[in-house]
Amino acid sequence: DDQKTMALFGDAATASLVSCEPRPGNLGVKLNRPFLSATGVDAKVLYVPNMGSGEVIEMEGLTVFKLAVRKMIDMLDNACQERGITVAELDMIVPHQANERIIEAIRKTIKCPPEKMFNHIRKYGNTSSNTIPIALTELVPTLASASKIGLTAFGGGFTFGAAVIEKV
């Protein structure tokens, strides 16, 4: 019901199962070691209320933007280094679909061509923790075997993660 933020969020639910063996409906990807981090943040920068409290999300947009872009790039670099590749060697990058400005800032900062940066924010909006699983169900079937895909995300409370997956 919050008019300031309701247009920013879509509605979705996903469940992801990681398995060591092929299963029906499997996307067919190999997950390399993910990198995870959390920094926390002052409530003035990003405040997410408890469910049912009647309070609304509050944030300092510019601060959130700068931290999200920087940390998502750093985490993706770490995940690529762990895999022994550079970000430029990725076939596709799937960032958390928080908003168009963040996706474009990451793309431009790492000098990624538009066709290698997955972006469907206009189709679904920000579906929170569901953005990457939804993106993967659309993207992975279109890719060739052995394609390397970089994933990078951030969340409320300032948590960050990235990984490199490979289509098998």
Confidence of residue 96 (pLDDT cuts 50, 70, 90): very high
DSSP state of 33: P
- Average pLDDT of span 80-97: 97
Looking at the predicted structure, is the pLDDT value of residue 44 above 80? no
Cα angle 21, 25, 30 (rounded to 5 degrees) comes to: 45
Q: Which residues in the chain belong to E strands, given as ranges?
A: 29-31, 35-38, 46-47, 58-59, 92-95, 148-155, 159-167
Looking at the predicted structure, is the pLDDT value of residue 13 above 90? no
Confidence of residue 167 (pLDDT cuts 50, 70, 90): very high
pLDDT at residue number 108: 98
Segment 103-126, tens digit of pLDDT: 999 999 999 999 999 999 888 888
Of residues 60 and 85, the one with the higher pLDDT is 85
Domains annotated for the chain, with CATH where assigned, are 28-167 (3.40.47.10)
Amino acid (one-letter) located at 49: P
Tell me what the pLDDT averaged over the chain comes to.
87
pLDDT at residue number 14: 75
